[in-house]
Chains A and B, each alone.
Chain A
Amino acid sequence: MNFERFAWWLFWFSFGLIILILFYGLTILFITSTSVELAFILGLISSLLMANKLLFGYGSIANLLDNVISLNEIKEEHKDKIKENVNKRFIPLEQIEKFSFATLISIALKDLDYYRYAYYSVYMLLVVITILAKFNLLGEFVLGKYIEGVFWGATITTFFVWGLEQLAKVSFTEFLNLNLSEENK
Chain B
Amino acid sequence: MNRVILFFITSLIALMIGWGVGGYITYNKTIETVGKIPASPIIVKSYYDKEKHAVIFSFFNPGTLPLNVVSQSFVFKPGKESKEKSYQVENIPVNIPLIPLGITAVALKLKKGTEELKNGDVIMATIYYTHPLSKDVYSIAHRFEYGIKKNSPSNKK
Residues of A within 8 A of B (CB): 34, 36-37, 40, 145, 148-149, 152, 155-156, 159, 162-163, 166-167, 170-171, 173-174
Max count, chain A CB within 10 A of own CB: residue among B1, B14, B20, B21: B21
Check if B32 is an interface residue, CB within 8 A of chain A. Answer: yes
From known contacts A167-B6, A170-B3, A174-B3, infer whether A159 and B17 are also in contact, taking CB-CB under 8 Å. yes
CB pair B10 A156 closer than 8 Å: no
How far, in angstroms, from A174 to B14 measured CA to CA in the complex? 24
**Majority-rule SS of B interface residues:** helix
Check if B45 is an interface residue, CB within 8 A of chain A. Answer: no
Contacts of B17 in A (CB 8 A): 152, 155-156, 159
Give the shortest distance, in Å, between B23 (CB) and chain A (any CB): 10
> Which of chain A's residues has its CB closest to B21's CB?
A152
**Binary CB contact string for chain B from 18 to 40 against chain A (1 if under 8 A, 0 otherwise):** 00110011001100100000000
**Binary CB contact string for chain B from 82 to 117 against chain A (1 if under 8 A, 0 otherwise):** 000000000000000000000000000000000000
> Which of chain A's residues has its CB closest to B24's CB?
A152
How far, in angstroms, from A89 to B70 measured CA to CA in the complex? 76
> Which of chain B's residues has its CB closest to A158's CB?
B17
Contacts of A173 in B (CB 8 A): 1
How far, in angstroms, from A40 to B24 measured CA to CA in the complex? 10
CB pair B20 A170 closer than 8 Å: no
Instruction: Sort A-B residue pairs by CB-CB distance and give the 4 closest, nearest first.
Output: A36-B28, A152-B21, A163-B10, A170-B6
Contacts of A162 in B (CB 8 A): 13
Contacts of B6 in A (CB 8 A): 163, 166-167, 170
CB pair B29 A159 closer than 8 Å: no
Check if B134 is an interface residue, CB within 8 A of chain A. Answer: no
Contacts of B20 in A (CB 8 A): 152, 155
Check if B151 is an interface residue, CB within 8 A of chain A. Answer: no
How far, in angstroms, from A162 to B10 measured CA to CA in the complex? 9
Contacts of A171 in B (CB 8 A): 3
CB pair A34 B29 closer than 8 Å: yes
CB pair A36 B24 closer than 8 Å: yes
CB pair A170 B1 closer than 8 Å: yes
Check if B152 is an interface residue, CB within 8 A of chain A. Answer: no
From known contacts A167-B6, A170-B1, A170-B3, infer whether A40 and B21 are also in contact, taking CB-CB under 8 Å. yes
Give the shortest distance, in Å, between A38 (CB) and chain B (any CB): 11
- Show 24 residue pairs from A and B whose CB-CB distance is below 8 angstroms, ordered by the A residue: A34-B28, A34-B29, A34-B32, A36-B25, A36-B28, A36-B29, A37-B25, A40-B21, A152-B17, A152-B21, A152-B24, A155-B21, A159-B14, A159-B17, A162-B13, A163-B10, A163-B13, A166-B6, A167-B3, A167-B6, A170-B1, A170-B3, A171-B3, A173-B1
Contacts of B21 in A (CB 8 A): 40, 152, 155-156
Contacts of A145 in B (CB 8 A): 28
8 A Cβ contacts from B42-97 to A:
none
Check if B2 is an interface residue, CB within 8 A of chain A. Answer: yes
> Which of chain A's residues has its CB closest to B2's CB?
A170
How far, in angstroms, from A168 to B6 measured CA to CA in the complex? 11
Max count, chain A CB within 10 A of own CB: residue among B6, B13, B28: B28
Contacts of B25 in A (CB 8 A): 36-37, 40
